[in-house]
Structure 1
Amino acid sequence: MRRIITLAQWILPKRLYEGLRFHFGRVFRFSATRKKICSYAGQKHILYALTPTPKLANIGDHAQVVAIDAWLKKHFPSYAILEVDKNEVLHCMPEIIDSTGPDDLVFLHSGGNLGDRGMYSESGRRKIIQGLPNSFVFSLPQTIHFSDSLTGNRERETSKRIYATHPNLVVLGRDKRSGELAKELFPKAESFSVPDFVLSLPCKEIAIKQNRAPRTLICLREDPESVLSDKDREQLVQSIAGEKEVFDTTFAEPIRREERSLKLEKTLDYFASFDSVVTDRYHGLIFSVLCQRPTVVLGTVDHKLTSAFDWFDAIQGLRFADSIDKVPFLLDEVKQEGFGNAPNWNGEYFDVLANRLKQIAETNG
């Protein structure tokens, strides 16, 4: 094979060679995945699709996989689980279609990418919805946002048209506003809101170390969803008194499937080593809640946190800051108040969700 590749490199024009190399590289790259997918044909299974690839190294995305996988195993124990990531969906749809029967269930990964800012994920979601019309498709909690732009309006209409073709589709919002948008945009689908799945994970019972100065973790995003300029970030960090560290949930190295649980555990241990948290990351807030740490939250460019904060209204020791100037005061306030009064997330939401989705499948099956 190597000799053939070398010969082709000498004989063929460069552009043709590079094109063929790219095409056959994709074929061989996903050959093992295709075999794995085909092995599930005829087997009662759940297709859990559009999970993050290793290169999407945001631990918040991978934490959702850890939580959803545990939830699926708890509530659907008679089903085998076939996980396919975003790349695998886009390159292996013929095999996915052939191996997925009408009695299999399809769950699409949760997150914040149902909209024109997450078109790679949205393209995969559309392929699944179009390609599996005879299966129940459950799109797990998403922040839904299409920008008011030429591109956003065009992509919104495309998603509306494609989603409307599926007879058994459930679209879940990750916050109240996203749930409302799901009903508006996809009226033929069943739609409602539930919190982010990471909240279904067990809380960390780690006490604050005594005899040391209080420490604050400043967990800030460094991407286009941030509303903070470099100057704002610097001002915010300088305004927080005492020992502090700056962190982001996106890692420098890829997160492989077999590493997810360990890296999540280390991240939660890291959050728990601080006395308080300031964050504009949704999963920065959720990790803080799991670690039971007082937290001040800042908004982003959309309603991801402003609307989702409703889930946390009753919890003691959490505040939303509508400007960086208010963070120091609110941080002192939540530290004095302390963390408490968190709900039973599984009892109130995720166990109920499983029963509701089963009823939908049974009623329409």
Structure 2
Amino acid sequence: MQSCLQRQQQRLQASHMAAPHPRIRPSLACRAAASASVESIQGVRPEIKEAIAAAVNNCVTETNLPLPNKRVGKVRDTYELDDKIVIVTTDRQSAFDRLLASIPFKGQVLNQTAAWWFAHTGHIIGNAVLDVPDPNITVMKKCTVFPVEFVVRGFMTGSTDTSLWTHYSNGAREYCGNSFPDGMAKNARLAANVITPTTKSETHDVPISPAEIVAQGLMSQADWDTASSAALALFAHGQAEAAQRGLLLVDTKYELGKDAEGNILLLDEIHTPDSSRYWLADSYESRHAAGQEAQNIDKEFLRLWFRSRCDPYKDEVLPEAPVELVSELSARYVYLYERITGQDFVPPPLQQPVGERMLANMAKYL
């Protein structure tokens, strides 16, 4: 395997694995609308903003590691070995079951943020992480994944078809086995954290109740009880950690599965800006009382931009995300990484092809 990696590395010396994102030249009206509707996150170092601007057209949108059994997901490409899974986190930005854009440094931020959380939640539940050999790559123990996403929510919010607020605003008071009272406003804090699970799908996740999960044989009752309890404990821990950093962990999703010994483990990612919604805590109460959207550090503003201009579920062709929004989302990813971990984000050297770097690091690992 190592010799194959080395041969592939040599072939990439004059090329780049990361397919460049097309340069976006929005109209002046579009640019004005984009910048007027989104508040720029404060506290991002100037050198990070410069690195983001330099990397807008140099994102990791696809990978081609010379490893077997490649599967392309919404954001991650996975390669399946005998007893391991190699997960490469790309810069692809997915929502509404579509690819919306590519965001500079997103994959590195997600991978390294998840690594930090994995290292700080082992006391709640074990995880499948074996190594992080590259800023964009995590190697995990091969597990049998539960065909359910454990979506945990602490607030009445969201804009997608599976979001709690979408169903509630359309009149639903029962959702995924949970009951909600009349009169709740968007972005209101829930009386208690809840799980609103969905089926796992590469195309469209479907909300489902715990009773239906067991009845359909997707999980046993014992496995559901263990996994759901762990999900709620992880979320409560994440909320407490976020609060110490002036953040509100609003909602998130977890993936869990069983290893060969039957242990239930946490997989994939945890509390990243892609799997989670974060708001700034100090402005939440005043903005909510005034009927304003919470100041967020996630991709919701990009979802809302697409929602206001098209039907992202049905339209065959979507508008291109303005470069201002792409750069803003990248800055928010980096900001959140630094705020959560307390570590400075280190952008990769742009003069080195990402594919070449990943091949070299995987060659050392394997």
Flag the structure with higher strand content: 2
Shorter-chain TM-score bucket reads: under 0.3
Flag the structure with higher helix content: 1
Greater relative CO, 1 or 2 (CA 8 Å, sep 6+):
2
Larger radius of gyration: 1
TM-score (norm 1): 0.25
